[in-house]
Amino acid sequence: MGDPLPGYHHDPFRDGEIEHDVRRSGSGPAVLVIHELPGIDEATRMVAERIREEGFTVVLPDLLPPRSGEPTGLDLALNLGRICVSNEFWAFALRYDRPVTRWLQALAVREHARSGGPGIGIVGMCLSGGFALAAATRAPISVAIAAEPSLPFRWRPGAARDLGMSTAEVRTLRDRAARGEVCVRAFRYEGDPVSPPERLARIRELLGGETVVEPIPGRDHPVLDRAVGMTRHGPGEPDPRAVPALTETLRVLRETLLAGAPA
């Protein structure tokens, strides 16, 4: 199988005991685009390239590399096991300071030094939606997009309202947002089978009503994939129900990172 990101520059990035490959393309302020449970696949590429078209450098950490080439169904199953047992992710832990958060924050510092601009953005989807929120507790991240955040998994009591962040991280994110240092947006399909509605309600309570994009009707998953035209069966037409969430994502990235204006 071929590389899902041909033409992207890539190099390893290590912080402490954690090292992952990182893919990069484009020019302008950096936006970290973090893949879903399958790993970096065609849907990840389509979302990243739509963001790149707006004038950004897109940076894709490969947190769950496949056995070879493009991720398969077996990779998806293996990754589920990996995130459940690895303390880097620990999918069931509540109020947990995940080591992957610190690695993403260190990567953000490096990419900001490379790309410049008033800050950088981070886009997390499903598995990584909560990673974007947690990483946004520190500069230079000034935009965080949490698309259908799914960790911790909802099956554990109390997990539905948990943001996958420690208590200290939650306070810091709230304070940064209140000071205007970071703009956060979150969204999900109303009938999303993975990301619980209580989690977005908690984000709204914490950060304000404008943080959560208006409910997206339908039982589907994930939003940004559908908004760029990645259907359950492969590339196709964008879902018009999901497009407003993509439009808002691009707006806050442009206005915060390109124009420097408040979103």
> With 0-12 CB in 10 A as exposed, 13-18 as middle and 19+ as buried, what is 55?
middle
Task: Using the predicted structure, report yes or no on whether residue 2 has a pLDDT greater than 70.
Answer: no
Taking alpha carbons only, the member of 95, 104, 159 closest to residue 137 is: 104
Supply the DSSP symbol for 213: P
Angle at 89 between CA 247 and CA 157, to 5 degrees: 90
Position 49 scores a pLDDT of 96
Query: At 104, which helix (H) or strand (E)?
Result: helix 99-115
Task: Using the predicted structure, report yes or no on whether residue 254 has a pLDDT greater than 80.
Answer: yes
Position 175 scores a pLDDT of 97
Residue 176 corresponds to which amino acid? R
User: What's the mean pLDDT in 170-199?
Assistant: 96
Q: With left for phi above 0 and alpha for psi between -120 and 50, is residue 148 left, alpha or beta?
A: left
User: Please, which pLDDT band fits residue 164 given cuts at 50, 70 and 90?
Assistant: confident
Position 262 scores a pLDDT of 43
Cβ-proximal residues to 100 (8 Å cutoff; 6+ apart), any chain? 18, 63, 88, 89, 131
User: Please, which pLDDT band fits residue 74 given cuts at 50, 70 and 90?
Assistant: confident
Angstrom CA distances, 246 to 91, 190, 236, 251, stand at 26, 16, 16, 8
Q: Are 21 and 65 in contact (CB under 8 A)?
A: yes
- How far apart CA 58 and CA 7 sit, in angstroms, is 13
Position 95 scores a pLDDT of 60
Task: Using the predicted structure, report yes or no on whether residue 30 has a pLDDT greater than 90.
Answer: yes
Query: At 139, which helix (H) or strand (E)?
Result: none
Residue 44 corresponds to which amino acid? T
User: Please, which pLDDT band fits residue 88 given cuts at 50, 70 and 90?
Assistant: low
User: Please, which pLDDT band fits residue 93 given cuts at 50, 70 and 90?
Assistant: low
Which of 33-42, 75-84, 150-159, 176-185 has the largest mean confidence? Answer: 176-185
Q: Which residue has the tokens 């879902």?
A: 239
Q: Which residue has the tokens 């990996």?
A: 82
- How far apart CA 199 and CA 197 sit, in angstroms, is 5
Q: Which residue has the tokens 């990645």?
A: 230
Position 173 scores a pLDDT of 97
- How far apart CA 36 and CA 129 sit, in angstroms, is 9
CA atoms within 13 A of residue 89's CA, in its CB half-sphere: 19
Of the listed ranges 12-21, 72-81, 199-208, 224-233, the least confidently predicted one is 72-81
Task: Using the predicted structure, report yes or no on whether residue 187 has a pLDDT greater than 60.
Answer: yes
Of the listed ranges 15-24, 75-84, 144-153, the least confidently predicted one is 75-84
- Tens of pLDDT, residue by residue over 207-224, are 999 999 988 999 999 999
Q: Please, what is the average pLDDT of the chain?
A: 89
- How far apart CA 38 and CA 236 sit, in angstroms, is 19
- Tens of pLDDT, residue by residue over 143-163, are 999 999 998 887 777 889 999
- Tens of pLDDT, residue by residue over 95-110, are 666 788 999 999 999 9
